[in-house]
Amino acid sequence: MEEVAILGSTGSVGTQALDVVRRHPDRFKVVILSAKRASRRLLEQAKAFEPDFVITEEPAPDGFKRELPTKTKHLTGLLGLSLALERTKPKKVLNAVSGIFGIEPSFRTLEHSNALLLLANKETVVAAGELLKPYLERIVPVDSEHNALFQVLRNLKREEVKKLYLTASGGPFRGMGKEELKRVRPEQALKHPRWRMGKKITVDSATLMNKGFEVIEARYLFEVPVERVEVLVHPQSLVHGIVETVDGHHFLVAYPTDMRYPLQHALFYPERVATDLPTLSWTSVGKLEFERPDFDTFECLKLAYEYGRRGFPHTALLVGADEAAVELFLEGKISFTDIPALVKRTVEALAPRFEGPPTVERAVEAAAAAYAAAKGSA
Ligand SMILES: NC(=O)c1ccc[n+]([C@@H]2O[C@H](COP(=O)([O-])OP(=O)(O)OC[C@H]3O[C@@H](n4cnc5c(N)ncnc54)[C@H](OP(=O)(O)O)[C@@H]3O)[C@@H](O)[C@H]2O)c1
């Protein structure tokens, strides 16, 4: 039995991770569950998995605490997380918290435990990637593209790798021009053609900022310059990552469009265990297409490359500014095409204030400042 902690357990990634755990009851013992709110869903998860600790960001009403299993203690916030990690010493911690609030739990895990960090929260890598360098051996990426690349790269020497390719479905607005994009509404942006995910990442997939974040993630997780990371639009979303070697071979990693594949890989890592999920059947796959993304229309991707090249503080500011811009778009306060302009304005205005070497505190502070500035500007 391996002890695992699932942070952000009530979200899209968290619930799918618990589904994998549920399919292998003899292999995992869930010791920590965490979420923002003391919700009904969290309570049901606590009843089903009986962890040692349930952690919420917001305070929990007495009724919630009373209904928890007798062995489960309730704690709050980052202090609660550090305490729970020290007490339970999990072997693996999945960080599937969304947004800026996921950054600190990653570092608490790396600094307060010896656990492997199964990292879904991409904001950690984008905002504070420079600080992950000493911990790279303890991180297993969960984002489908990086998990795919990770599986190939661990069998290759650094000097053998020429280029990394990240695939993108292209999102719901693939093929649209700028004029059309000006008029798209939040409910259209929330309809992703391939994946069902939280709202923030779904809108980021529509602007291609998500893919931009992933380019930056690849820079830090695999220590390659962004110029050697190429994005390919691949509408079928079956090939998730490609590694090109210096002698001209391309290793493609493919699996069905289902986050439970990378989650199963990460939860069992370094073992490989048979899955009972339906696997790919090549004869029914049909055509696989790959095309270049439209950088002029989807400006967020261009911005992410630029800030990814520059690193901190631009990357941390990018995370905060984008989080606010997406919220404003979902609230109907700005248009879809205002998102890149607001992000750029915010990052450029705040960058001089945060110049200097990054720390976790400064990365979080920069992301929060960019969030506040962008949110307040609309
Ligand atoms: N969804 C995907 O397929 C996918 C794929 C690759 C990477 N990712 C990345 O994985 C992360 C999670 O994405 P998601 O789609 O699963 O998000 P989501 O569905 O919105 O779920 C977010 C989770 O984080 C919790 N949370 C939010 N704010 C919190 C806070 N302040 N403190 C503690 N917990 C908090 C939420 O709790 P409540 O339920 O109480 O609000 C929920 O459990 C993101 O960084 C995303 O970019 C997602």
> Which protein residue's CA is at the shortest distance from atom 32 of ligand 1?
36
Tokens of 131: 């600080």
Cβ of 101 below 6 Å from ligand 1: yes
- At 275 the three-state DSSP class reads coil
Q: 0.75 exceeded by the pTM?
A: yes
Closest to 184 measured CA to CA, from 294, 295, 332: 332
Neighbours of 106 (CB within 10 A): 27
pLDDT for 195 equals 74
Q: How far apart are CA 123 and CA 217, in angstroms?
A: 9
C-alpha–C-alpha distance, residues 228 and 233, integer Å:
16
Probe target for ligand 1 pocket from 36, 53, 93, 100, with the most ligand atoms within 8 Å of CB:
36
Element (H, E) at 261: helix 260-268
> Which residues neighbour 322 within 8 Å (Cβ) at sequence distance 6 or greater?
204, 209, 300, 339, 343
What is the per-residue pLDDT across 103-139, written as a single tens digit (0 to 9) for each? 999 999 999 899 999 999 999 999 999 999 999 999 9
For residue 297, what pLDDT is reported?
95
Beta carbons within 8 Å of 223's beta carbon, 6+ residues apart:
133, 136, 158
Ligand 1 atom having least distance to the Cα of 8: 43
In the chain, where the domains are located: 2-120, 147-376
CA 43 to centroid of ligand 1, rounded, Å? 17
Q: What are the CA-CA distances from residue 296 to residues 45, 167, 235, 301 (Å)?
A: 44, 18, 19, 9
Q: What is the residue whose two structure tokens read 């390919």?
A: 232
- Ligand 1 centroid to residue 353 C-alpha, Å: 29
CATH 3.40.50.720 matches 2-120 = yes
CA 9 to ligand 1 center in whole angstroms: 8
pLDDT band at 272, cuts 50/70/90?
Answer: very high
Average confidence (pLDDT) over 184-193:
90
Please, what sign has the CA dihedral across residues 331, 123, 77, 73? positive
CA 282 / ligand 1 centre spacing (Å): 32
- How many angstroms separate the CA atoms of 45 and 21, rounded? 12
pLDDT per residue over 6-44, tens digit each?
A: 999 999 999 999 999 999 999 999 999 999 999 999 999
CA of 89 to the centre of ligand 1 (A): 23
256 alpha carbon – ligand 1 mean position (Å): 21
Q: Is residue 242 within a helix (H) or strand (E), and if so which, with residue range?
A: strand 239-245
Mutate which of 20, 97, 123, 213 for ligand 1? The one with the most ligand atoms within 8 Å of its CB, which is 97
Whether the ω angle into residue 69 lies within 30 degrees of 0, i.e. cis, is no
Nearest ligand 1 atom to the CA of 55 is 33
> Would you say the CB of residue 147 lies under 6 angstroms from ligand 1?
no
Q: Where are the alpha helices (DSSP H) in 169-230?
A: 178-182, 186-189, 199-207, 209-222
pLDDT score at 340: 98
